[in-house]
Chains A and B, each alone.
Chain A
Amino acid sequence: MEKTINITLKIWRQKGPQAKGAFESYQLSNISTDSSFLEMLDVLNEKLVSEKKEPVVFDHDCREGICGMCSLYINGHPHGPDEDVTTCQLHMRKFKDGETITIEPWRSRAFPVIKDLMVDRSAYDKIMQAGGFISISTGGVPDANAIPISKEKADEAMDAASCIGCGACAAACKNGSAMLFVAAKVSQLALLPQGKIEAARRAKAMVSKMDELGFGNCTNTGACEAECPKNVSISHIARLNREFLVAKLKD
């Protein structure tokens, strides 16, 4: 049967990139525990609009845990307290009646706040543009079955490729490092024969772009892996380091 709870929200409000932000508190009652976290925020926003106030701005799109658009630091965790989910997959059944829930944007140097809970993650796109690809153009490629790839390698590449680019890893990291994000892409492509050819060059280009954009260094705290909604493993960081070392040795 449907259960409902009453909650208090402490939400970061910030008018714009340069504005000074602050927490504001809101009360919500009769929230169905079957509703998702973002549906709860929809209820809040409907209430604010009905009071002729501006709604809370947050990023979201697919609402099924795959686009990577939703973010939010909820009670001190990126994507909230549940494991292996994005914020949009988090449900209110994970919260208690009477609970106070604190909601903040990603707080990381390379992800500046745009408004309220929305941040600018274009740095991730820039890292991809620096080298997150295999340098081939459309057409003129061999038959898909021309190069066999072992199932183990293909599966491992798939696990790395499941990264959704949400930024939780960098947001969770005390150094603000994007190593897990970069490693996932470097690892995916290095595992496949098609991508192996330029693996070293790719690693170097992506890491130096990451450094340039103000992300911090990796000190192996493992917070990124713990908070990653897609369970991307830090073993990929080891592979990235290998590729990076190879590249440096060649220099």
Chain B
Amino acid sequence: MTQINSKIPEGKLAEKWNNYKASQKLVNPANKRRLDVIVVGTGLAGASAAASLGELGFNVLNFCIQDSPRRAHSIAAQGGINAAKNYTNDGDSVYRLFYDTIKGGDYRAREANVYRLAEVSNCIIDQCVAQGVPFAREYGGLLDNRSFGGAQVSRTFYAKGQTGQQLLLGAYSALSRQVGKGSVKLYTRYEMMDVVVVDGKARGIIARNLRTGRLERFFGHAVVIATGGYGNTFFLSTNAMGSNGSAAIQAYKKGAYFANPCYAQIHPTCIPVHGEFQSKLTLMSESLRNDGRIWTPKKKEDAEAIRAGKLKPTQIAEDDRDYYLERRYPAFGNLVPRDVASRAAKERCDAGYGVGTTGLAVYLDFSEAINRLGRDVVEARYGNLFQMYYKIVDENPYETPMMIYPAIHYTMGGIWVDYECMTSVEGLFAIGEANFSDHGANRLGASALMQGLADGYFVLPFTIQNYLADEIRTPRMSTEKEEFVEAENSVQSKIQKLMSIKGNRSVDSIHKDLGHVMWNFVGMGRTKESLEKALEEIKQIKKEFWSNVFIPGESEDLNTELEKALRVADFIEIGYLMAKDALHREESCGGHFREEYQTEEGEAKRQDDKFSYVACWKYEGEDKEPSLLKEPLVYESIHVQQRNYK
């Protein structure tokens, strides 16, 4: 049986990264110029990696599907970025950030990776400030911090409610500088279609020029995937419309393991679903839980009257409100981790206390904060979020509580990587949300930005050299090589097959079917029955898709329906993997909640003796079931226990 080698360095936890750096191989400047690195994606991870590798002197090719690198969906992250600076003197440290992240992930993340993440977190803040990222500051001129879920310290740096935007624009600036210098060549409106593997090593990609529809071949001594998560498998999610999991599936089909696909994060504070025509869900930042209080009516009759439009939330007396998070989790209150907050909202709504016309919503109320702090302070902290809510819902959150409900937001699962961020295919790396590594079964708020930038600025630029140092004798390959031609031909035949179906269903209509199955059976509460049903239904959807989809237009042209179809074909594969992984994991942990496994209080109940491992799914061929490999999770520095936020 194949053994998983995660290449964790020797030594004590706090020394591993230093030990690694001390003994890794490096590439000298003259050789760097001769090495090509392909980076797919221009979000926080992709842009920071491409920029940093370009600065080092590598010859970088950077791809994105949008018209500009600045559009990547990292831009939409609102609340902030964590770092263990301890500027607030409230007891934070590298160890504390590491510990909170491991615990927040419900003890399903790799210890050494998480410690390294916490270690480099401080460098990220320094780097971003030097780039001109306008973080929020105090009157004394120093940086301001706020709190996020799952932590008892204030370690989150922010730029209004647009932190992701500002960090991405910082990375985009650094990237633009390298493009201007010629060390990075940018390919916008290009979509990766396949990895090219030569003699067992990743050596390039096939990409589709989205403007012309033509396929093109690109060589690289190494390939880095930084294409984000696969939340759009659910059709409705907080992801951008173009966010997709196709690069991950291409890597998987070329031998990269897909790790923990079932770990998907459902974010508790999103604007509720309002109609069948809806195309996406909008997140309301977790930072709102610093000052907003979450509640539902205490009495069922009040909830019913609100749903019927006979009562307004402002008419419910204080004593008749159930601040259920404060009630259930007094120690963390409204700032419990996302998975806990999401399940609690579902529990209230399932029990009949939900509000809104559908009954699938709870209140996020700022009246107490406005009374305590004044409207100006609340506006300064959250003004842009309140405006966003108002424009979508047409209700003023300064006057009436926001309505929120959980929605798919982030995927902790992803391409399996070792300590060096290398996948199980040599020379193929995965960074940012695209990999599985650092968040375990649940990601804490403000940690995605941290991980994306940690990988791109401070991890990959080191670790990739350890691989490339052995490639300095490998000359650039011609893309006329057999493996490139074959890869292109197989993409071409897949496209021709899709175009030739000429059925009666639109791509979106089938994607919506998949989304319903995912939300209903692979969503917030999963059971053996629901997952078995999901697997059956996804097989049917796959059949329907490949026999009845209709794509208008030509393949060698700008064709947005074909772009969507290629992505949905892969979402179907991912949906199947998610259900399969969720079915096999007979425990509850973090975002993965199997209803059969819960404590008497309804909390997630892990089965550490059976499932303390990373589930790595290996592709075994079309229409064959994937096989399961296990990377055991060994904790040397912390005591594994049941998460407690009470």
Residues of A participating in the B interface, judged by any CB pair closer than 8 Å: 1-2, 16, 32, 34-36, 38-39, 42-43, 46, 48-50, 52-55, 57, 59-69, 82, 84-85, 89, 91, 93, 114-115, 118, 120-122, 124-125, 128-139, 141-145, 147-151, 154-155, 157-158, 161-162, 164-165, 188-189, 192, 194-195
Contact = CB atoms under 8 A, between A and B. Distances in A.
Contacts of B487: none
Given A42-B277, A157-B132, 14 more contacts: A54-B553, A57-B560, A61-B71, A67-B66, A67-B71, A67-B76, A89-B388, A89-B392, A93-B394, A133-B174, A137-B55, A139-B123, A151-B141, A162-B162
A82 B390 CA distance: 13
B134 A125 contact: no
Given A54-B552, A144-B143, A122 B136 contact: no
B68 interface: yes
B68 A122 contact: yes
B552 A69 contact: no
Give the residue among B309, B388, B560 with the most A Cβ atoms within 10 A. Answer: B560
A125 B66 CA distance: 12
Give the residue among B67, B137, B278 with the most A Cβ atoms within 10 A. Answer: B67
Contacts of B48: 138
18 contacts: A1-B309, A34-B274, A62-B241, A66-B162, A82-B391, A121-B68, A129-B180, A135-B177, A137-B52, A138-B174, A139-B457, A147-B129, A151-B139, A154-B134, A161-B166, A162-B165, A164-B165, A192-B132
B130 A136 contact: yes
A125 B68 contact: yes
A39 B177 CA distance: 37
Contact of A154 (B68, B85, B137, B392): B137
Contacts of B392: 36, 89, 91
B242 interface: yes
B275 A2 contact: yes
A66 B76 contact: yes
A62 B125 CA distance: 25
Given A34-B274, A35-B275, A69-B71, A125 B176 contact: yes
Interface in B173-189: 173-174, 176-177, 179-180, 186, 188
Nearest to A191: B134
Nearest to A162: B162
Contacts of B550: 49, 52
A61 to B, nearest CB: 4
Contacts of B142: 145, 148
Contacts of A60: 241
Given A52-B552, A188-B132, A138 B177 contact: no
B126 interface: yes
A192 B561 CA distance: 44
B130 A141 contact: yes
Interface in B40-80: 48, 51-52, 55, 66-73, 75-76
B505 to A, nearest CB: 9
Contact of B457 (A66, A138, A143, A158): A138
B27 to A, nearest CB: 16
B364 interface: no
Interface of B: 48, 51-52, 55, 66-73, 75-76, 85, 87, 123, 125-132, 134-143, 159-160, 162, 165-166, 169, 172-174, 176-177, 179-180, 186, 188, 211, 240-242, 274-275, 277-280, 282-283, 309, 387-388, 391-392, 394, 457-458, 461, 506, 508-509, 550, 552-553, 558, 560-561
A60 B280 CA distance: 12
B279 A63 contact: yes
A124 B552 contact: no
Contacts of B67: 59, 69, 120-122
B135 A138 contact: no
Give the residue among B134, B143, B165, B278 with the most A Cβ atoms within 10 A. Answer: B134
B143 A125 contact: no
Contacts of B553: 54
Given A128-B173, A143-B126, A46 B394 contact: no
A194 B132 contact: yes
B242 A129 contact: no
Contact of B69 (A125, A143, A155): A125
Given A68-B71, A138-B461, A32 B132 contact: no
Contacts of A136: 130-131
Given A49-B506, A141-B126, A61 B132 contact: no
Nearest to B507: A49
B361 to A, nearest CB: 14
B177 A133 contact: yes
Contacts of B188: 122, 125
Contacts of B85: 144-145
Contacts of B129: 141, 144, 147, 194
A157 B134 contact: yes
A67 to B, nearest CB: 5
B279 to A, nearest CB: 5
Nearest to A86: B391
Given A43-B277, A66-B162, A138 B52 contact: yes
A145 B89 CA distance: 14
A17 B73 CA distance: 27
A57 B558 contact: yes
A97 to B, nearest CB: 17
B176 A115 contact: no
A122 B187 CA distance: 11
Nearest to B164: A66
Nearest to A158: B134
Nearest to B179: A129
A84 B387 contact: yes
Contact of A149 (B141, B160, B165): B141
A206 to B, nearest CB: 11
A91 B394 contact: yes
A65 B560 CA distance: 21
Contacts of B240: 61-63, 67
A62 B75 contact: yes
Give the residue among A84, A128, A151, A162 with the most B Cβ atoms within 10 A. Answer: A128
A115 B461 CA distance: 38
B136 to A, nearest CB: 7
Contact of A145 (B143, B211, B461): B143
Contacts of A155: 134
B140 A39 contact: no
A16 B457 CA distance: 39
Given A32-B277, A42-B279, A162-B162, A85 B173 contact: no
B404 to A, nearest CB: 15
Contacts of A141: 126-127, 129-130
A130 B75 contact: no
A82 B391 CA distance: 9
A192 B141 contact: no
Contacts of B69: 125
Contacts of A66: 75-76, 162, 165
